[in-house]
Amino acid sequence: MTTRRQYLVNSFAEDGYEGNPAAVCIVDKWPSEAQMQKIALENNLSETAFCLCLSNDSVEPQFHIRWFTPGCEVDLCGHATLATAYILFKHFFNDARVLHFRSRSGDLHVRKTDDFVILMDFPSYSLEEVTDEAELKEVAEALGETGEKIEALFKGIDYVAVLKNAEDVIEFKPDFGKIAALRGVYNLLITAKGGKYDFASRCFFPKEAIDEDPVTGSAHCTLGPLWAERLGKEELTAYQASARGGILHLVVGKDRVTVGGRAVEVYL
């Protein structure tokens, strides 16, 4: 497999000015962790994916994938996985329908449809409702005036604040310092039932050097199951209401979530 050092792709996007940009590095051997972290910092995107080919079978090739923010390596990244799959399908494995990735979150399987929607099979993450008054108060204060509009608060990998309506999500003005000061390792997702879409969300990861992520596939491994239960449906369309915005298509199973979307390669 012939490699080029790096590609730039907008995930969950229809054109070059929306969705979430990710850098994709196709490598013949792993750089050192320090070098991968420096490359991610130099790119200054929410994620840089590094992908190593393990088996170049033309039908179902296998890879190892790793994801780095400007500040650290992470366990799972949806938009950078979508970006990597898009590059592999487009430039290296035109005849393949399924790609298999080894990762820190286990084995991930990605397939493409006839019209090039990329579907990612991801783990499902559970949540528990927060009832501790001090914890509820801390998160409400981090949201400022919007804290009064919390209908329910959950935590799993991150805090998830369910707000009263989608407008509360869209209009929220974050104080990243307060969000970064939340206890422990918890970052913050805010979400609400949508109108045109089943639900809307925004995702803040200041502890990982990402104030607000434009479109976050991995967060929907948490948000998808939450809204599937609240709405009583398995197939959902989600809108991440960042400044760039992005649409995600979800199918929620017992312990897996299919996260789907389109991608656009950016030529500089």
Higher pLDDT, 4 or 113: 113
pLDDT digits (tens, 9 = 90+) for 128-184: 999 999 999 999 999 999 999 999 999 999 999 999 999 999 999 999 999 999 987
Domains detected in the chain: 7-122+261-265 (3.10.310.10), 128-252 (3.10.310.10)
Average pLDDT for residues 92-113, to the nearest whole number?
A: 94
Handedness of CA 264, 84, 199, 234 (dihedral sign): positive
Mean pLDDT of 49-70: 92
pLDDT at 61: 94
3 vs 60: which has the higher pLDDT: 60
Cα separations in angstroms, 179 against 24, 57, 150, 184, 203: 29, 45, 15, 11, 11
- The 10s digit of each residue's pLDDT in 33-46 is 999 999 999 999 98
pLDDT at position 209 is: 81
Residue 263: name the closest of 25, 95, 63, 23 by CA. 23
User: Exposed, middle or buried: residue 100 (CB in 10 Å: 0-12, 13-18, 19+)?
Assistant: middle
pLDDT at residue 3 greater than cutoff 70: no
Give the SS3 label for residue 56: coil
204 φψ region: left (φ > 0), alpha (ψ -120 to 50), beta (else): beta
pLDDT in tens, 219-237: 999 999 999 999 999 999 9
Q: Sorting pLDDT into bands at 50, 70 and 90, what band is 1?
A: low
Asked whether the beta carbons of 189 and 220 are under 8 A apart, the reply is no
Mean pLDDT of the chain: 93
Active-site residue set:
47
Residue 15 buriedness (CB in 10 A; 0-12 / 13-18 / 19+): exposed
pLDDT score at 14: 83
Per-residue confidence (pLDDT) for residue 122, from 0 to 100: 92
Residue 4: band (very low, low, confident or very high) from pLDDT cuts 50, 70, 90:
low
| pLDDT score of 162 | 98
DSSP helix/strand/coil, 255: coil
- Alpha-carbon dihedral sign for residues 205, 206, 208, 210: positive
Neighbours of 35 (CB within 10 A): 11
Q: What is the largest CA-CA distance in the chain?
A: 56
Residue 60's pLDDT is what?
87
Task: Give which of 179, 229, 174 is closest to 199, Cα–Cα.
Answer: 229
